[in-house]
């Protein structure tokens, strides 16, 4: 549902009318500035890049400073409660800027915007626009309408706005909630259009949108809609474009990449086939993907770790819980035993693979015994890293009807227990790297200055590399290269290394 509202809140519109400046200058002329604050997952990271490109074609440049921006976009995530509050408080922080500059447009995008639409406009008075992910191609058009309610939507040639808004532009502020979802048959993926200087060593390429899974706790199927797989040729062309502009590592992204189905291989194992096709792109050094759903993680997909030389030995395979009865109530479609079997097979085809996972603690009905099974699964699998979350009830999810019966204090206790256990496992997993000489893809200089480079192992561990005695120019030339590095030390989450040559 999408709606338009002419707010009767006179706020800045009245002052602006006094100044005679309610209509903002058209897009031509000096570039206008967009500031983007982003939350959430890799899909949101990807969307931000596409927003920047859409806006750039309409006269905007990205800025790192909210102060002085003409447009502020808060790209929200609705996966857990806290993320949503973060978005609301971010919007509040921009109110003083809006008070100073009534022409500033504050837009809220992403998953909270998609789910809440005009309700969010009511909750957040400073917002002018809420828009869902499918509206990104039309973002510039929506902003233009808010800036100039009397204009036609020249950006897309669509119909003029309603006479109601053109009749009273000075007294009323046009606010838009744009949450229409594109039908699956009509969905077209936005083609990435990066400028050469904006491409880094690692790049994300989307291979699907949405999710058809309906895990009982998860809002994603509501916020991102049905799963649509991107044509393989389009994926390949986009990978080639990033490589031509300097990227060396590509991560294929989607909420459940194993459900990818745009090729139609005779045996239906499309994602494995896509990996093989992308693995062959000239110039590609490393290939990764995320996120995988265990139910769809077939042996053929596992075999790709053995057969595709660019595919890095790293897999994020969210398990969520170690108890089969919790998994069943989560509608995850696999048991503990089936998950462990998949891990066992993976370690046969790729013995040194690094694994990571997501864990939810305190799911409705999770007993102490269930929780103990999560701990024992962590001990058995021995992940290199995990992300763990306390369950939070989300609107519109099947689990909303289940009693949220694990108390907040108990959820925190379980979370701390998980983290404490994982700390020792991560230490052991990172420790195994010490003493090895590993090929590291150099991504840039480490944060502490130009004396250190940073990059990642094939297993996705971050390495800060000491480079004393090397000229900065020589170090600069290593960015984008695979360089042998001796791993000398492991820290809590990262490794330290020395250039080996």
Residues in touch with ligand SAH (CB under 6 A): 79-80, 217-218, 220, 255-256, 291, 293, 318, 320, 358, 360, 389, 391-392, 394
Q: Is 474 exposed, middle or buried (0-12, 13-18, 19+ CB in 10 A)?
A: exposed
As measured in angstroms, the least distance from the Cβ of 5 to ligand SF4 is: 31
Peptide bond into 274 cis (omega under 30): no
| Kind of pairing between the strands at 452-456 and 129-131 | unpaired
**Which of 2, 11, 38, 44 lies at the binding interface for ligand F3S (CB under 6 A)?**
44
Distance separating alpha carbons of residues 291 and 41, to the nearest angstrom: 10
**Which of 90, 105, 111, 136 lies at the binding interface for ligand F3S (CB under 6 A)?**
111
Partner whose footprint covers residue 394, from ligand SAH, ligand F3S, ligand SF4, none (CB < 5 to 8 Å by kind): ligand SAH
Q: Give, as one character, the DSSP assignment of residue 313.
A: S
Distance separating alpha carbons of residues 249 and 260, to the nearest angstrom: 20
**Which of 24, 107, 220, 317 lies at the binding interface for ligand SF4 (CB under 6 A)?**
220
As measured in angstroms, the least distance from the Cβ of 387 to ligand F3S is: 11
Residue 218 in the binding site for ligand SF4 (CB under 6 A): yes
Residue 209 in the binding site for ligand F3S (CB under 6 A): no
Distance separating alpha carbons of residues 187 and 230, to the nearest angstrom: 9
> Of 151, 183, 437, whose CA–CA distance to 140 is shortest?
151
Distance separating alpha carbons of residues 173 and 171, to the nearest angstrom: 7
Q: Which is nearer to ligand SAH, 188 or 400 (CB)?
A: 400
Partner whose footprint covers residue 221, from ligand SF4, ligand SAH, ligand F3S, none (CB < 5 to 8 Å by kind): ligand SF4
- Contacting residues for 341 by C-beta, under 8 A, at least 6 apart: none
Q: Which two tokens stand for residue 376?
A: 């024992």
Residue 326 in the binding site for ligand SF4 (CB under 6 A): no
For ligand F3S, the binding residues in 371-390 under the rule CB under 6 A are none
Residue 136 in the binding site for ligand F3S (CB under 6 A): no
**Which of 54, 111, 211, 440 lies at the binding interface for ligand SF4 (CB under 6 A)?**
211
Residue 255 in the binding site for ligand SF4 (CB under 6 A): yes
> Of 312, 323, 324, whose CA–CA distance to 355 is shortest?
312
Residue 77 in the binding site for ligand F3S (CB under 6 A): yes
Residue 220 in the binding site for ligand F3S (CB under 6 A): yes
**Which of 223, 258, 397, 464 lies at the binding interface for ligand F3S (CB under 6 A)?**
223
- Contact window for ligand SF4 (CB under 6 A) among 207-215, 239-247, 335-343, 371-379: 207-215
**Which of 78, 179, 251, 256 lies at the binding interface for ligand SF4 (CB under 6 A)?**
256
- Contact window for ligand F3S (CB under 6 A) among 41-49, 50-58, 61-69, 422-430: 41-49
Distance separating alpha carbons of residues 388 and 357, to the nearest angstrom: 8
The torsion region of residue 53 among left (phi > 0), alpha (psi -120 to 50) and beta comes to alpha
Residue 40 in the binding site for ligand F3S (CB under 6 A): yes
Distance separating alpha carbons of residues 279 and 208, to the nearest angstrom: 18
5, 48 in Cβ contact below 8 A? no
104, 96 in Cβ contact below 8 A? no
- Contact window for ligand SF4 (CB under 6 A) among 206-214, 440-448, 464-472, 487-495: 206-214
The torsion region of residue 29 among left (phi > 0), alpha (psi -120 to 50) and beta comes to left
Q: Which is nearer to ligand SF4, 181 or 218 (CB)?
A: 218
Q: Which is nearer to ligand SF4, 43 or 120 (CB)?
A: 43
**Which of 221, 313, 322, 455 lies at the binding interface for ligand SF4 (CB under 6 A)?**
221
Distance separating alpha carbons of residues 369 and 374, to the nearest angstrom: 9
As measured in angstroms, the least distance from the Cβ of 357 to ligand SAH is: 8
Partner whose footprint covers residue 56, from ligand F3S, ligand SAH, ligand SF4, none (CB < 5 to 8 Å by kind): none
Residue 216 in the binding site for ligand SF4 (CB under 6 A): no
The residue at minimum Cβ distance from ligand F3S is 40
Q: Where are the alpha helices (DSSP H) in 4-158?
A: 11-19, 42-56, 81-93, 95-100, 110-123, 139-147
135, 225 in Cβ contact below 8 A? no
Q: Is 11 exposed, middle or buried (0-12, 13-18, 19+ CB in 10 A)?
A: middle
As measured in angstroms, the least distance from the Cβ of 446 to ligand F3S is: 28
Q: Which two tokens stand for residue 438?
A: 């590993």
- HSE-CB at 19 with a 13 A cutoff on CA atoms is 12
Distance separating alpha carbons of residues 257 and 114, to the nearest angstrom: 22
As measured in angstroms, the least distance from the Cβ of 219 to ligand SF4 is: 8
Q: Which residues sit opposite 485 in a β-bridge?
A: 438, 499
Number of amino acids touching ligand SF4 (CB under 6 A): 10
Residue 41 in the binding site for ligand F3S (CB under 6 A): yes
Peptide bond into 291 cis (omega under 30): yes
Residue 2 in the binding site for ligand F3S (CB under 6 A): no
For ligand SF4, the binding residues in 277-306 under the rule CB under 6 A are 293
Residue 79 in the binding site for ligand F3S (CB under 6 A): yes
Q: Under the rule (CB under 6 A), what is the footprint of ligand SF4?
A: 211, 213-215, 218, 220-221, 255-256, 293
Q: Under the rule (CB under 6 A), what is the footprint of ligand F3S?
A: 40-41, 43-44, 77-79, 110-111, 219-220, 223-224
């Amino acid at each position: 549902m999408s709606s338009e509202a002419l707010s009767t809140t006179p706020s800045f519109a009245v002052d602006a009318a006094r100044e005679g400046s309610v209509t903002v200058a058209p897009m031509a002329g000096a570039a206008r500035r967009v500031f983007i604050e982003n939350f959430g997952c890799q899909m949101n990271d990807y969307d931000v890049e596409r927003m920047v490109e859409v806006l750039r074609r309409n006269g905007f440049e990205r800025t790192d400073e909210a102060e002085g921006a003409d447009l502020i976009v808060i790209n929200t995530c609705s996966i857990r409660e806290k993320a949503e509050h973060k978005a609301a408080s971010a919007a509040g922080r921009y109110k003083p800027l809006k008070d100073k500059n009534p022409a500033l447009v504050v837009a809220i995008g992403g998953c909270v915007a998609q789910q809440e639409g005009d309700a969010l406009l009511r909750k957040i008075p400073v917002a002018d626009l809420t828009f869902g992910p499918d509206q990104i191609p039309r973002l510039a058009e929506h902003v233009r309408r808010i800036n100039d309610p009397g204009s036609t939507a020249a950006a897309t040639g669509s119909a003029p706005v309603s006479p109601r808004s053109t009749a009273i532009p000075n007294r009323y502020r046009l606010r838009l909630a744009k949450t229409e979802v594109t039908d699956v048959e009509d969905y077209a993926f936005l083609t990435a259009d990066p400028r050469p200087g904006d491409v880094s060593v690692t790049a994300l390429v989307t291979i699907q949108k949405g999710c058809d899974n309906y895990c009982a706790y998860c809002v994603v199927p509501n916020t991102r809609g049905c799963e649509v797989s991107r044509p393989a040729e389009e994926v390949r062309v986009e990978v080639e474009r990033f490589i031509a502009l300097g990227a060396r590592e590509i991560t294929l992204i989607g909420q459940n990449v194993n459900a990818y189905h745009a090729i139609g291989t005779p045996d239906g194992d499309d994602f494995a086939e896509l990996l093989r096709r992308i693995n062959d792109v000239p110039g590609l050094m490393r290939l990764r993907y995320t996120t995988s759903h265990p139910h769809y993680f077939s042996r053929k997909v596992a075999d790709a770790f053995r057969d595709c030389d660019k595919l890095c030995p790293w897999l994020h395979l969210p398990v969520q819980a170690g108890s089969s009865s919790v998994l069943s109530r989560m509608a995850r479609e696999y048991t503990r035993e089936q998950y462990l079997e998949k891990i066992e097979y993976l370690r046969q085809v790729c013995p040194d693979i690094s694994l990571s996972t997501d864990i939810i603690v305190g799911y409705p009905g999770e007993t102490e015994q269930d929780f103990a099974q999560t701990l024992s699964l962590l001990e058995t699998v021995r992940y290199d890293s995990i992300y763990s979350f306390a369950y939070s009830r989300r609107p519109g999810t099947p689990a909303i009807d289940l009693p949220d019966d694990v108390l907040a204090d108990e959820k925190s206790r379980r979370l701390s227990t998980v983290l404490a256990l994982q700390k020792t496992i991560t230490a052991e997993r990172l420790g195994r790297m010490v003493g090895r000489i590993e090929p590291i893809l150099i991504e840039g200089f480490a944060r502490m200055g130009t004396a250190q480079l940073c990059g990642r192992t094939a297993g996705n561990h971050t390495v800060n590399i000491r480079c004393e005695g090397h000229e900065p120019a020589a170090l600069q030339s290593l960015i984008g290269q695979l360089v042998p590095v001796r791993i000398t030390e492991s820290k809590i989450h990262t490794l330290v290394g020395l250039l080996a040559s």
